[in-house]
Amino acid sequence: MIAELQCMVLDCPDPLLLAEFYAALLDGEVNRPDKRWAVGADWATVHTGSGLVRAFQRVDGHRPPRWPDPRAPQQAHPDFTVRDLDRAQERVLALGATLLDGAPGRGGEGRRVFADPAGHPFCLLRH
């Protein structure tokens, strides 16, 4: 092994808002004290039980990706497995996500694509 993933960083206009979204989605902890990062107005983190850390940094003039438009590429997107896709969809929409593709009846029986509150695409996949 050459490297180990320490965290995944997403650019966004509001780091704390996006950290709170992902903390609720992943049952994580926002801005847990960690000597590796200093959190503040321009940087927030979410620690999860799996050990994976997500980080969010403020970017002035942030332009979100527009899935699936190749002129504004995804840049990166996480896939999450869920047991109940309909229930998971209901919960992420309540957290502020937007459904992009995969609504029931449109080929979304096993996969749904959403945007988080800052516009980053992510997928929910039936476990």
Domains parsed from the chain with CATH numbers:
7-58 (3.30.720.120), 79-126 (3.10.180.10)
Residue 94: what are its φ and ψ, rounded to 5°?
Answer: -65, -25
Query: Averaged over 84-105, what is the pLDDT?
Result: 88
- Distance CA(75)–CA(91), nearest Å, equals 25
Per the document, the length of the chain is 127
Q: For residue 67, name the pLDDT band (cuts at 50, 70, 90).
A: confident
108, pLDDT greater than 70: no
* 3-class secondary-structure state, position 127: coil
Strand partners, 29: 47
Rounded to an integer, what distance in angstroms lies between the CA atom of residue 110 and that of residue 20? 26
Average pLDDT over every residue of 54-80? 85
pTM above threshold 0.95: no
Percent of the chain with pLDDT over 70: 93
Q: Is the dihedral of CA 9, 2, 79, 72 positive or negative?
A: positive
Quote the strand ranges of 1-127, DSSP E.
Answer: 7-12, 29-30, 43-47, 53-58, 79-82, 98-101, 111-115, 121-126
Question: Nearest Cα to 113, choosing from 124, 126, 127?
Answer: 124
